[in-house]
Amino acid sequence: MTTIVLIRKNNEVVVAGDGQVSMGNTVIKKTANKVRKIEKRNVIAGFAGSTADALTLFERLESKLEKHAGNLARAAVELAKDWRTDKYLRRLEALMAVGDKENSFIISGTGDVLEPEGDVIGIGSGGNYALASAKVLMDTDLSAEEIAKKAIKVASEICVFTNDNLNIEKI
């Protein structure tokens, strides 16, 4: 369980995530990093779900980006196809929010590659709370990073599986 928010505003893309790892109703760790940057391709991603599964998916996304010359849309579709059809990958339980300078996607294990309407993505147990608060803040003078921080803060005050220990990546 976690909260990830992706904000696209004023030529800036930010992915923020909380740091809580829970097992059942117990907090196991408060400082996990669920947000990563793929430096070579200027792509950022956040994951909600099992940590080992998400790390596997990050590696797969990175290899798809290499194979498709940094084309995030193509890499996302290819990852989703593999995720859904591969006997090993189809058991992975996670959601990913990924973005580059041009695109933002939610990628799921059911084969979905969703491009949201608007410039905000929220995933995870607190994703809807972060999404709602970020959508309201998009019409303000706040930067993408400030909106992401406030959205995670709101989610952390509502969702018991989310804390306010932030990890942020931006491009």
Domains and CATH numbers, the chain: 3-170 (3.60.20.10)
Residue 65 or residue 52, greater confidence: 65
Alpha-carbon gap, residue 117 to 80, rounded angstroms = 20
pLDDT at residue 118 is higher than 90? no
Q: For the chain, give percent helix, strand, coil, nearest 5.
A: 35, 30, 30
110 in active site = no
pLDDT-based confidence at 91, cuts 50/70/90? low
Active-site residue (options: 2, 51, 56, 140): 2
Share of the chain above pLDDT 70, in %: 96
pLDDT for 3-36, tens place per residue? 999 999 999 999 999 999 988 889 999 999 999 9
Reported confidence tier of residue 149, pLDDT bands at 50, 70, 90: very high
